Amino acid sequence: MILEEIIAFGHEKVLAKHKTTIEITRENFLTKNGDCIIAVNANKSCFDLNENLKSVLKSGEKIIFEIEVNGKKDKITAFGSNQLDLSNKTSIVIRKSNYIDDRTIAINADKAACNIRRDIIEELKNPKAKLILRVIK
């Protein structure tokens, strides 16, 4: 069951080399320091997620995140937590660690930005590339 779909776009500076996090941001710019960011111009941040999804995330359940770009897909498995704040109005972050801040949507993920399929990351270096992030239960 799809709980939420988040749309974002590529950027020529996408590196996706971070070893512990994946970030999608509403901002329209990216610097070389943002090596966890895989997409910009997102239509939603943590704050904008629907209440049903927020409830599922806060229950600590296992969540599947499906990334799709131009028909290419990758999957990330992570977990929610009752400690999630989900109040950030700019970003969504999936973490391999159990660190939580207001941008964190899930923890203990099986992938970080550096683990996402490289053909998908190459697609995301094009600002016209549309990323769909599906949150699935």
Q: Tell me the CATH number at 59.
A: 2.60.120.630
- How far, in Å, CA of 44 to CA of 24, rounded? 9
* Cα first-last separation, the chain: 6
Specify whether the CB–CB gap between 5 and 132 falls below 8 A: yes
Average pLDDT, the chain: 97
Local structure of residue 40 (DSSP, 8 states): B
| Predicted pLDDT at 32 | 82
Q: How many CB atoms lie within 10 A of CB 47?
A: 17
The domain total for the chain is 1
- How far, in Å, CA of 106 to CA of 85, rounded? 11
| Predicted pLDDT at 108 | 98
What is each CA distance from 31 to 1, 6, 15, 91, in whole angstroms? 35, 22, 10, 15
Q: Which segments in the chain show pLDDT lower than 50? A: none
Specify whether the CB–CB gap between 10 and 129 falls below 8 A: yes
| CA contacts within 13 A on the Cβ side of 36 | 18
| Predicted pLDDT at 78 | 98
Which domain covers residue 108, as residue numbers? Answer: 2-136
